[in-house]
Amino acid sequence: MLGFRILPRTRSVSLELAARYIKLPVANVSDCMARMTAGGPALRPLHDGSKMAGPAITVKSRPGDNLMLHKAIEMAVPGDVLVVDAGGDCTNALMGELMISYAMRRGIAGVVINGAVRDYRFIKWNNFPVYAAGVTHRGPYKDGPGEINVPISIGGMVVEPGDLILGDDDGLICVPFHEAESVLEAALQVHAKEQKIMSAIEAGTHNGDWIGDALSRAGYVSAS
């Protein structure tokens, strides 16, 4: 029944592919996806800044209720990222030290909560990736409804089970399963180009000649 579904994940990006992504900045990947997708500025890293990459297990939760999140932790395999759409409501925390410790023990790669968490001191001093919309001491309910491994949307970013989730200090991005290989190759090229620019900046040889060309194409006229 709609609202009470627990589904299997039928496809998933490999952990090997996720390991290649984790070496890249989220910004490089975003640029290769036409800058058209993001997890939203409200979802911020609350941990020590460690990067995150892995296949998504999706959870659609009633705001303030974490019953399906508990079930998803039991279903997850090492390397998975739990992505929870709780409507962005921060009235009640869906996860805290106990659940995070259990997720860590099970080898989960990180959690994304479009809602609130608690036990912030524990989170910020650990390297386990936790992205959330807010922090509150108020605990959750455990009644449902909710769904696991269904398509969800967070800040306009659609996430399907098995898609690649990548996170760093700039935020989150979801790379669709069928696009993961091609986006990776494009992002590697962008990253290599930016590294060359940085080397030129450090060497004092970088110039901004392209700026004049861009202004000319846009129709700007230099004052004499």
Asked if residues 124 and 146 have their Cβ atoms less than 8 Å apart, the reply is: no
Question: How far apart, in whole angstroms, are the C-alpha atoms of residue 155 and residue 104?
Answer: 26
Asked if residues 29 and 54 have their Cβ atoms less than 8 Å apart, the reply is: no
Question: How far apart, in whole angstroms, are the C-alpha atoms of residue 95 and residue 117?
Answer: 5
- Asked whether residue 179 is marked as a ligand-binding residue, the answer is no
Helix (H/G/I), strand (E/B), else coil: 202? helix
Maximum distance among all Cα pairs of the chain, rounded to whole angstroms: 72
Please compute, for residue 214, the number of CA atoms within 13 A of its CA located in the half-sphere on the CB side.
4
- Asked whether residue 168 is marked as a ligand-binding residue, the answer is no
- Asked whether residue 144 is marked as a ligand-binding residue, the answer is no
DSSP code string of 129-152: -EEEEEE-SPPPB----EEESS-E
- Asked whether residue 215 is marked as a ligand-binding residue, the answer is no
- Asked whether residue 2 is marked as a ligand-binding residue, the answer is no
Question: Beta strands 81-85 and 110-117: pairing type?
Answer: parallel
- Asked whether residue 119 is marked as a ligand-binding residue, the answer is yes
Helix (H/G/I), strand (E/B), else coil: 119? coil
Summarize the annotated binding site for substrate as residue ranges: 96-99, 118
Summarize the annotated binding site for Mg(2+) as residue ranges: 119
Summarize the annotated binding site as residue ranges: 96-99, 118-119
